[in-house]
Structure formats: structure tokens, C-alpha cells
């Protein structure tokens, strides 16, 4: 079930490369990667798990509300992380010129489906 | 000069609250804040300096190119960080329902002006 949602995210977003449903413990629950010569998306997800944890902690310290979404644009890729529950988040990786708006929209749309399935 | 650019960023973006030109050493070079009952934007900038440093390091480890932009959406605010040089970045804070696209556009437009002035 998770795999289908992740596949829909990647294939529905122009420039989509891969999506991972991750636990904050750094363990992936499900993933869908396009066959590509691209980066090690699993390693990326693990690296960004730690960063997202720190962003979440910073938001708590600053009392600016729960972190919902983090987007990181590098010279080559675009990464959108969306928090689902206290324990899980989704990471969607796009080509740099991928459709950022569409990716964000689909992540937002599918978040509640994934959240329900995780509960 | 920096102050005017930051003021333009905040006032030109719907929902803009404040902008800070920061060094990665955690020292602000210039800032413009709207008078508001909002969060401690200076403290936010310092917290996010450390996070941006880690994001930068992760991108180097993963070999996915230089980090250009990071956007963080919380329940209450939207924060856009744009890297300028190896030593400086700009942080723009918006209300949660602020004009994200316009903020990103203005940051991108003004980045070269700020970069030239820092050189």
C-alpha cells in the first residue's frame, strides 16, 4: 500500500526520482525509486533524517509550532520532506528542475492517507 | 545598503515579517523586522544557522551539489534560507500563509546584489 502511494508521488511529479517513507529512527518503511544513475537516495534519506530531527527540535525550542515541511534545493536536486507523525516522515527527491509545486501538492494530498495507514 | 535590500524583501513579500543577513558564525550583518508580536527572529536566525551548516555538510558528503535554498514550514511560520557565499546567507521569515513563491523569487533576484556587496 505504501509503495503504491510513493510510486504515485514520484511518477505524478515532473522530474520525480524517488520517495521514501522513513522513521525518525533512520529505518525506511517503504520506498520507490526510479531506475537512475542518480544519487544514493537511501543514504540521502538517512542523512536528512538527522537534519529533520534537529529542525523539529529547533522549532520546539523557538515555540513556532510543529514542523510540517522542509524543502532543500541543491545545485543538482530538490528534496521535499513532509512530516507525518511524531515517528514518520516522507522524503521526495526531484531533479533540480522538477515540478516543486506539484510535488508539494501531492505530498500534502497523500499525507493523510499515509498517516491513516501508519496509525 | 543591506538594510534597504532586506526591507525590500520583507515589504515586497505578502506576509513578510523579517529578514536577516547572517554569517555562518552566527553573527547577523544586517536585519529588518516589521514591528510585530511575533517570534524572536534573531534567535530563530541563530538556531537555523546551525541547521543550515549541517544541511550544507550533508550535501557535501552526499555529493549532490552546493546547497542553494532551504524552506521550512511550521504550524505558524514559513522560513526561507538562501545561501549567498561560503560565509553568509539570508533568512526571510513569513507568516504561515505568506506568499512563499514571491519570497523565493525576491530572494533569488536580490542574492546577486547582496553577494556583490559582501565581496
CA distance B36 to chain A (A): 14
Query: Average pLDDT in the A61-67 region?
Result: 91
> pLDDT value at position B4?
94
Evaluate if residue B36 carries a pLDDT over 80: no
Query: Which has more pLDDT, B114 or B36?
Result: B114
Note the pTM of the prediction, 2 decimals: 0.93
> pLDDT value at position A119?
84
Quickly state the pLDDT bin for B39 (edges 50, 70, 90).
confident
Q: Which chain A residues are within 8 Å of B75, Cβ to Cβ?
A: 64-66, 68
Please give the interface size between A and B, counted as residue pairs whose CB atoms are below 8 Å apart.
86
Give me the domains of chain B, ranges plus CATH numbers.
Answer: 2-118 (3.30.450.30)
ipTM of the complex: 0.92
Question: Do A71 and B69 lie within an 8 Å CB cutoff?
Answer: yes
- B2-29 pLDDT, tens digit each: 999 999 999 999 999 999 999 999 899 9
Query: Average pLDDT in the B41-50 region?
Result: 86
Evaluate if residue B72 carries a pLDDT over 80: yes
Question: Do A69 and B67 lie within an 8 Å CB cutoff?
Answer: no
Evaluate if residue A35 carries a pLDDT over 90: no
Out of B39, B50, B70, name the one closest to residue A64 (CB).
Answer: B39
Distance in angstroms (rounded) separating the CA atoms of residues B90 and B78 = 14
CA distance A3 to chain B (A): 25
Query: Average pLDDT in the B95-100 region?
Result: 94
Query: Which has more pLDDT, A68 or A45?
Result: A68
Give the whole-number percent of chain A exceeding pLDDT 90.
Answer: 79
Evaluate whether A37 touches A76 at the Cβ level (below 8 Å): no
Q: H or E segment at B13? A: none
Evaluate whether A89 touches A27 at the Cβ level (below 8 Å): no
Distance in angstroms (rounded) separating the CA atoms of residues B17 and B32 = 9
Question: Do B62 and A39 lie within an 8 Å CB cutoff?
Answer: yes
Instruction: Give the CA dihedral B14, A66, A16, A117, nearest 10 degrees.
Output: -140
Query: Which has more pLDDT, B41 or B11?
Result: B11
Distance in angstroms (rounded) separating the CA atoms of residues A1 and A63 = 35
- Read off the C-alpha cell for B74: 511550521
Q: Which chain B residues are within 8 Å of A39, Cβ to Cβ?
A: 62-64
Evaluate if residue A45 carries a pLDDT over 90: no
Question: Do B62 and A43 lie within an 8 Å CB cutoff?
Answer: yes
> pLDDT value at position A41?
80
Amino acid at each position: 500500500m505504501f509503495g503504491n502511494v510513493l510510486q504515485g508521488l514520484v511518477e505524478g511529479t515532473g522530474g520525480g526520482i524517488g520517495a521514501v517513507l522513513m522513521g525518525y529512527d533512520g529505518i525506511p518503511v517503504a520506498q520507490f525509486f526510479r531506475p537512475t544513475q542518480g544519487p544514493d537516495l537511501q543514504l540521502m534519506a538517512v542523512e536528512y533524517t538527522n537534519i529533520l530531527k534537529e529542525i523539529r527540535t529547533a522549532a520546539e525550542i523557538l515555540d513556532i509550532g510543529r514542523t510540517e515541511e522542509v524543502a532543500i534545493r541543491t545545485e543538482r536536486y530538490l528534496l521535499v520532506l513532509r512530516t507525518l507523525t511524531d515517528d514518520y516522515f516522507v522524503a521526495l527527491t526531484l531533479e533540480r528542475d522538477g515540478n516543486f509545486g506539484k510535488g508539494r501538492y501531492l505530498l500534502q494530498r497523500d499525507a493523510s492517507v499515509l498517516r491513516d495507514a501508519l496509525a
